[in-house]
Amino acid sequence: MKLTILGCYAATPRTLTNPTSQVLEVKNHMFLIDCGEGTQVQLRKHKIKFSRINHIFISHLHGDHFFGLPGLVSTFRLLGREKELNIYGPKGIKEAITMLLKLGDSWTNYPLRFHELSSGESELVYEDDKITVHTIPLDHRIYTNGFLFKEKLGERKLNIEAVRYYEIDKAYYNNIKRGRDIVTEIGEIIPNKALTFDPPKPTSYAFCSDTAYKPEIVPIIKQVDCLYHEATFLESETHLAKKTKHSTAIQAAIIAKEASVNKLILGHYSTRYPSIQLFKEEASQVFDQVELADDGKSFEFI
């Protein structure tokens, strides 16, 4: 998996910072997660091909998380897009986007599919033969979801030396990779484990933005490879976090520790602070593997 942060600051865009948006590349997919103002400019700046984006996941309907979406949908039309575009987000997102298209007489010339969400429980919202995406119910001032992206277990890897030793015909290779044993012409059974190596461990990524401290999400994100969790405030502003239903860096770290995740990425910083390093310093008091998101920064995890 490769994660590219397009924007990770709270509230309003500034000359050097952008509101929330990120791209997750996994198994030949390119998923756009949230779409704050300036997202398509950031996509161009970081040379990310618009045509590869077929699925967009919107956490909630606050402007700093989806005001860039109408412009992106319109730009796809101007670029002559023909492929279907799927948008997953809270109930109301279809009305918000289609109203703007209607008023501007700018209906898309490509299929635009909305998948509106309203459940308060974690649910499967996307699946194919390589990956699943579940919602992570969060606690914010309006209905909000995070998203959990999980690879499926891949095929086993051929042990070339072993299959050559047993003189197995290439016609059986695909069946072997799918886990089947081989029966020789004389009836000998060659177990699959003698012919293959275990597939790589599937990777997983959890996106949790704009939420009050919510330990109830821990079972959903247990042992993920990477957790992105909002950290709008430092501990000195815990009262503001509670009032606005955001989290502090330490609260994000507690979630990461309790969920036994491999890595925590902090983001959604309030711009009241002189340095984002302060967020890492506080979170590291609780959890060791802390990284800081920043606009344009990429992370790769396996």
Alpha-carbon radius of gyration of the chain: 22
Q: Is 288 annotated as a binding residue?
A: no
User: Against a cut of 0.85, is the pTM above it?
Assistant: yes
User: pLDDT of 80-131, one tens digit each?
Assistant: 999 999 999 999 999 999 999 999 998 999 999 999 999 999 999 999 999 9
Write the DSSP assignment of 122-161 as a string of letters.
--EEEE-SSEEEEEEE--SSS--EEEEEEEPP-PPEE-HH
Q: Give the start-to-end residue ranges of the domains of the chain.
A: 2-154+200-300, 157-197
User: What's the chain's average pLDDT?
Assistant: 95
Q: Is 140 annotated as a binding residue?
A: yes
Tell me if 205 sits within 8 A of 148, measured CB to CB: yes
Q: Which residues pair with 196 in a beta bridge?
A: 158
Residue 181 annotated as catalytic: no
71 CB-contact burial (10 Å; exposed 0-12 / middle 13-18 / buried 19+)? middle
Residue 220 has which token pair?
Answer: 């959903």
Residue 5 has which token pair?
Answer: 């942060």
**pLDDT at residue 302 greater than cutoff 80:** no
Q: Is 246 annotated as a binding residue?
A: no
Just give the CATH number of 2-154+200-300.
3.60.15.10
Separation between Cα atoms, residue 41 and residue 31, nearest integer Å: 17
- Identity at 75, one-letter amino acid code: T
Q: Per-residue confidence at 254, pLDDT binned at 50, 70, 90?
A: very high
The confidence score (pLDDT) of residue 40 equals 97
Q: Is 65 annotated as a binding residue?
A: yes
Q: Is 268 annotated as a binding residue?
A: yes
Q: Is 60 annotated as a binding residue?
A: yes
Separation between Cα atoms, residue 218 and residue 227, nearest integer Å: 11
